Amino acid sequence: MKVSALLSLIPLAAALPGSRWATKDSNGAFGVTAARSGSPIHFLPLTAAGSKFWLGGKSQTYCPEVVPNCAQGTNDTIIYAHNALDVIVPGGQSIYVDRTGALSFTTPHSGYIPPGSSQGPFKYTPGQSLGTWTYAGQGASGFMACPAPANSTMAARHVRRQARPTANRWQVFAALQNATVPTGNVNDCLGFEAMAIGLNISSGHLAWEYI
């Protein structure tokens, strides 16, 4: 994107002390860890990367060099207000379920959500120590994790399956029977509970944006 456009947004964020970009105080921010005992996804963290969500692996955050003092606040995926990524970038980043059923997030500086997507309801229920995060749109009961090849070509998928099954990763979908999943078979997916860990976090410890 154009540097000038980015710079023009900085005063806006700075001028809103009472806004969601200001310091937060136990205000609905949380991280998510999967629970499905006896499975390979148990206790894997939810990560945002490439406009989609995964279990395990690394979140993809970005901090533009042109933003003054833009320290990389976190490499974790932090959610805010039920259905948004907790970011500093003006305009924020929303979470939705795309038409294939994949849990997705909007790109920075664009609120664009493709037609056929579902915007919820998503719900964060805080707990004493652990809360939950759920999605109940389209009659779904929460989320499922589907094996996804690390390399998207069919040939490589086959090779990696044989040689290095750990190279696979888990992509997060809404738990829908008609989801279009990477292996083509929804029975390959594992439903899980999204355990939510409430965070009291200040803006200095947020990602600028997820990409």
Ligand X SMILES: *[C@@H]1O[C@H](CO)[C@@H](O)[C@H](O)[C@H]1NC(C)=O
Q: How far, in Å, CA of 125 to CA of 106, rounded?
A: 23
Q: Which stretch binds ligand X (CB under 6 A): 28-36, 38-46, 148-156, 167-175?
A: 148-156
- Assess 138 for contact with ligand X (CB under 6 A): yes
Q: For residues 119 and 153, which CB has a smaller minimum distance to ligand X in the complex?
A: 153
Single-letter code of the amino acid located at 33: T
Q: How far, in Å, CA of 195 to CA of 45, rounded?
A: 9
Least separation in angstroms between residue 34's CB and ligand X is: 22
Least separation in angstroms between residue 149's CB and ligand X is: 9
When binding is defined by CB under 6 A, the residue of 8, 14, 156, 204 that contacts ligand X is 156
**Where are the strands (E) in the chain, listed by range?**
29-35, 46-49, 52-55, 61-62, 79-80, 84-85, 93-97, 103-105, 122-125, 131-135, 143-148, 169-174, 190-199, 209-210
Q: For residues 75 and 185, which CB has a smaller minimum distance to ligand X in the complex?
A: 75
Q: And the tokens for 48?
A: 């945002």
Chain residues 60-99 in contact with ligand X, contact rule CB under 6 A: 72, 74-75, 99
Q: List b or e across 61-91, with b for residues whose CB sees 16 or more CB atoms inside 10 angstroms.
A: bebeeebeeeeebbebbbbbbbbbbbbbbbe
Q: For residues 46 and 176, which CB has a smaller minimum distance to ligand X in the complex?
A: 176
Chain residues 5-44 in contact with ligand X, contact rule CB under 6 A: 25-26
Q: For residues 92 and 198, which CB has a smaller minimum distance to ligand X in the complex?
A: 198
Chain residues 187-206 in contact with ligand X, contact rule CB under 6 A: 200
Q: In the complex, which residues of this chain contact ligand X (CB under 6 A)?
A: 25-26, 72, 74-75, 99, 138-139, 151, 153, 155-156, 176, 178, 200
